[in-house]
Structure 1
Amino acid sequence: MTAMQRTTENAARETPLSESSTEPWRVGILFSRAGITSVTESEHFFGTVLAIEEINARGGVLGRPLVPVALDPKGDLAEYRRMAHQMLSREDVNVIFGCSTSSSRKAVLPEIERKNGLLWYCSLYEGFEYSPNIIYTGAVPNQNSLQLAAYLLKNCGKRIYLIGSDYIYPRESNRIMRDIVEQHGGEIVDEIYLPFNVSSAEIELAVREINKAQPEALFSTVIGSPSREFYRVLHDLRIDQKPLPVASLTLGETELKLIGPQFCKGHIVSATYFSSLPSEENQRFVASYRQRFGKDATVSAWGQAAYGQVCLFAKALERAASMDTQKLVEAVLEERYDAPEGAISVEPENHHLWLQPKIGVACEDGNFDVVWQAKEAVKPDPYLTTYEFSEFWLE
């Protein structure tokens, strides 16, 4: 059994949390380490664990350790809902770090709101949501899609093809991308969706349809294991053709490694974090992550976002001195944290983070070359009230 597993096993045996000065702070962790999103959600899990262990090594929060209650829903939406209920009703947990897909977030939201818990959600997502019981710490479309569309139209061409997995996030992200591209003189050539259990033959058929359409760029919101096969098939079926740049909001360093960097060279990602960032805080984080999970461990936005939100939570908890949802929310609105990706803070209007968008191009060594980044953090606009390019246009 690993040290991480022992931490999780021991957490379940701790006595219930009280607001006394001697009891530990109990927190929930709800990420899938099996299923279609196991790679990215495992990184969420690792980033969360690393932050908790570092905080506890420094003496915890107000002298009290964070004790995790970790459950694995294995990608099953009914299990997300059931386990969220279990944590909030029987495990004396009020704060949950969890969920990756929009489907899983929406599955647990009724439980979170009914029990007045607080969900910390670190995945980028399609926006158009607000709950007083969620702190949204991932990017929304005005912090990634706008910048990606600008980059594609300026550097790749105006004929763009959309492909995604068949669920909420890809369909909404593609709707937004279509609106942005068409409003700025581009053309969406076609739009197709793949089921979660898509076969190799179906992926090959989709790639052949894309090749026939001859787009100048491809925006992919295919997620999980199908996305890895998609990149390889696309490479193989275009081996004698001009490379087709694939743009994504979700491709990270770990998936580059699993796919094979040679299959992804030149593809484009819009994100708020890449492990190649030169800042002192990021170099410290990368070193700490690899010391904890192995010298060959890849570090990506998925683990970093989870790590950063726990650190931000700890600052809010120290200020609030309470796990009460309202007190924690009031406290976090006053906080700022210098995360590996840059300074982050919560926008009071909508509980989303101010984040600094970046554009990375995949390299054959498995890293990303950061070719552009915003001059400062961008205010989150989850309802995308403007498609204005002026402040984002890439020079």
Structure 2
Amino acid sequence: MRTDRRNFMKATLGAAAAAAAPYGFVKSINQAWGAQSWIKKGEPIKVGLLFSLTGGLAVPEEDSTLVMQYAIDEINKSGGIAGQPIEPVIVDAKSDFNVYSEKTKELILRNRVVAIFGCYTSASRKAILPTVMAQNHLLYYPTCYEGAECTQNTICTGPLANQHSKDLIPFMVQQFGKKVFFVGSNYVWPKESNKNAKVWLQQAGGELLGEEYIPLGSSEFGPVLNKIREAKPNFIFSTVVGASDIAFHKQFKQEGFKVDSMPIASLTTGEIETRAMGNEYGAGHFLSAPYFQGLDNPTNHKFVESFLKSKYGKNGVTHYNMEETYLSAYVFKYGLEKAIAKVGVEEVTPRAIRDNTGGIKVEDAVSPEGLIWIDDQNFNTWLKPKIGQCQADGSFKIVKSSAEHVAPDPYSIYPDLGKCTADGLKAADGKVRKGVI
């Protein structure tokens, strides 16, 4: 009987070990007992690319996937990271927030990627963050967002509202007049961005005539344009995204609106959207972004030429979202190199990369938009905001550029809520709340 029991226990433990084998078991003072190393010495470093290649968000997000592959190839050709190549695990999120969430779990638990690069909308980011935070993992969010968020698991290489609409709104008021109409896609980023824009508009002495939101992915703007026609604003402030953005600009022109008397000022309509809609529909409108394809510096000239000649440059342009995604690859590289130097390859965790990323710089020689760096408290990016006007050929002429880097401020219009620090959201009473989303 004892022999049978002993054999049963051995068989049970063996089966359990076999079931767990794909995830590996190691002992480590830096990782929980039983956890597999995220990176194994001599093996590829796996990262997840979680963008939409199909659906309404594919217009900007396909290019994010392409430019990440380009950056990974570039890094690998120069020796990889600590002599090990990066291996992308590419996922099509299909412009579906449920797919973003499901695939995040797969990337972390099944594919064992050490970091995820992904999302273009705040709705998709918020769909995956609970999983990222529960696993103490790491998301590189490479585009603009509204702020009012303080997690310890996100690194953002795009602009916040105080680096975006804070310049654009007063510029448009000064150039075209005080009356404005807001149009946005119906989800968290446009609505929260417009809360910021209202503050800047009030400070500029402007007047909000109307505010409309259309379903994400919708292409019907007739009713909204009728309201705009009645209101007669001096300009339109747009936070419409993806395929909807293209439809909005096309219908604006088709309905007889004139760009010289009522331009659209956007936070999203760059070179890729203009190319997709046709240059004639983008010409004359405005965009606020830290990067434009036409930036005149040696690094950008090299980036544009090399990328467009590569197998990844099939869409024919570069734009702000691509460049911010490209920067995130180098922020990852430099942060991982620091983490490896401190703890060794097999002791690196996603959180260790994040903790070694504060203060990381991407210098002029690498960054197409020029020097940027990661804030050591809120892990967003110091950058120089710019405003461009779309030209007849689809390029953008820079009409305003910040002379100095602007600090990212996630709570710029909510100072009473506290300050985002490396440990969490710190309130006036000194209490710190972690993982605020």
Question: TM-score when scaled to structure 2?
Answer: 0.81
- 1:273–1:197 Cα change, 3 Å: closer
User: In the alignment, which residue of structure 2 is the partner of 1:349?
Assistant: 377
The Cα shift of 1:198 comes to 2.9
Whether contact under 8 Å (1:47, 1:303) holds in the other structure is yes
User: In the alignment, which residue of structure 2 is the partner of 1:5?
Assistant: none
Per the alignment, in what secondary structure is the counterpart of residue 352 of structure 2? helix
Whether contact under 8 Å (1:17, 1:25) holds in the other structure is no
Whether contact under 8 Å (2:137, 2:351) holds in the other structure is no
| Equivalent-residue separation in structure 2 for 1:233 and 1:79 (angstroms) | 31
| Equivalent-residue separation in structure 1 for 2:141 and 2:192 (angstroms) | 18
User: In the alignment, which residue of structure 2 is the partner of 1:309?
Assistant: 328
Letter in 1 for 2:333: A
Q: Which of 201, 207, 221 is equivalent to 2:225?
A: 207
Whether contact under 8 Å (2:217, 2:243) holds in the other structure is no
Letter in 2 for 1:193: Y
- 1:275–1:199 Cα change, 3 Å: closer
User: Deviations for 1:315-337, whole angstroms, at most 9, x for unmatched residues?
Assistant: 11112114413321232124211
Letter in 2 for 1:165: S
Q: Which of 1, 16, 34 is equivalent to 2:54?
A: 34
1:330 paired to 2:355: yes
Q: Which of 80, 87, 90 is equivalent to 2:110?
A: 90
The Cα shift of 1:192 comes to 0.7
Whether contact under 8 Å (1:129, 1:382) holds in the other structure is yes
Q: How does 1:106-145 map to 2 (within 5 A)?
A: 106-145=126-165
Letter in 2 for 1:380: P
| Equivalent-residue separation in structure 2 for 1:34 and 1:114 (angstroms) | 28
Letter in 2 for 1:146: K
- 1:178–1:228 Cα change, 3 Å: same
| Equivalent-residue separation in structure 2 for 1:150 and 1:257 (angstroms) | 28
| Equivalent-residue separation in structure 2 for 1:296 and 1:97 (angstroms) | 20
User: In the alignment, which residue of structure 1 is the partner of 2:316?
Assistant: 297
In structure 1, the gaps of 5 or more residues are 1-14, 388-395
Per the alignment, in what secondary structure is the counterpart of residue 124 of structure 2? helix
Letter in 1 for 2:57: T
Q: How does 1:1-20 map to 2 (within 5 A)?
A: 19-20=39-40
User: Deviations for 1:257-299, whole angstroms, at most 9, x for unmatched residues?
Assistant: 1111112221111100000001111111101110113476111
Per the alignment, in what secondary structure is the counterpart of residue 140 of structure 2? strand
Of structures 1 and 2, the larger Rg is shown by 2
Q: Which of 211, 214, 218 is equivalent to 1:191?
A: 211
Q: Which of 186, 202, 224 is equivalent to 2:242?
A: 224
Letter in 2 for 1:343: L
| Equivalent-residue separation in structure 1 for 2:193 and 2:112 (angstroms) | 36
User: Deviations for 1:175-227, whole angstroms, at most 9, x for unmatched residues?
Assistant: 21112212331100111111125353xx1221121011110010011111121
Whether contact under 8 Å (1:130, 1:351) holds in the other structure is no
Q: Which of 194, 198, 201 is equivalent to 1:178?
A: 198
| Equivalent-residue separation in structure 2 for 1:22 and 1:279 (angstroms) | 37
User: In the alignment, which residue of structure 2 is the partner of 1:280?
Assistant: 298
Letter in 1 for 2:227: E
User: In the alignment, which residue of structure 2 is the partner of 1:392?
Assistant: none
Question: TM-score when scaled to structure 1?
Answer: 0.90
The Cα shift of 1:359 comes to 0.5
Letter in 1 for 2:78: R
| Equivalent-residue separation in structure 1 for 2:158 and 2:73 (angstroms) | 22
User: Deviations for 1:127-165, whole angstroms, at most 9, x for unmatched residues?
Assistant: 111111110111001101100012111111100100111
User: In the alignment, which residue of structure 1 is the partner of 2:390?
Assistant: 362
| Equivalent-residue separation in structure 2 for 1:25 and 1:264 (angstroms) | 40
Letter in 2 for 1:373: S
User: In the alignment, which residue of structure 2 is the partner of 1:377?
Assistant: 405
The percentage of counterpart residues that share the same residue type is 35
Runs of 4+ residues deviating >2 angstroms: 15-21, 196-200, 238-243, 293-296
Q: Which of 68, 82, 93 is equivalent to 1:48?
A: 68
User: In the alignment, which residue of structure 2 is the partner of 1:391?
Assistant: none
Whether contact under 8 Å (1:157, 1:216) holds in the other structure is yes
User: In the alignment, which residue of structure 2 is the partner of 1:265?
Assistant: 283
| Equivalent-residue separation in structure 2 for 1:381 and 1:241 (angstroms) | 32
| Equivalent-residue separation in structure 2 for 1:262 and 1:272 (angstroms) | 23
Per the alignment, in what secondary structure is the counterpart of residue 356 of structure 2? helix
1:59 paired to 2:84: no
In structure 2, the gaps of 5 or more residues are 1-23, 25-35, 416-437
| Equivalent-residue separation in structure 1 for 2:173 and 2:260 (angstroms) | 18
Per the alignment, in what secondary structure is the counterpart of residue 332 of structure 1? coil
Q: Which of 200, 216, 236 is equivalent to 2:254?
A: 236
Whether contact under 8 Å (1:123, 1:302) holds in the other structure is yes
Per the alignment, in what secondary structure is the counterpart of residue 139 of structure 2? strand
Whether contact under 8 Å (2:359, 2:375) holds in the other structure is no
Per the alignment, in what secondary structure is the counterpart of residue 151 of structure 2? coil
In the comparison of the two structures, how many residue pairs are matched?
Answer: 372
| Equivalent-residue separation in structure 2 for 1:352 and 1:239 (angstroms) | 38
Letter in 1 for 2:72: I
| Equivalent-residue separation in structure 1 for 2:356 and 2:389 (angstroms) | 37
Letter in 1 for 2:356: A
The Cα shift of 1:51 comes to 0.6
Per the alignment, in what secondary structure is the counterpart of residue 302 of structure 1? helix
User: In the alignment, which residue of structure 2 is the partner of 1:250?
Assistant: 268
| Equivalent-residue separation in structure 2 for 1:296 and 1:115 (angstroms) | 36
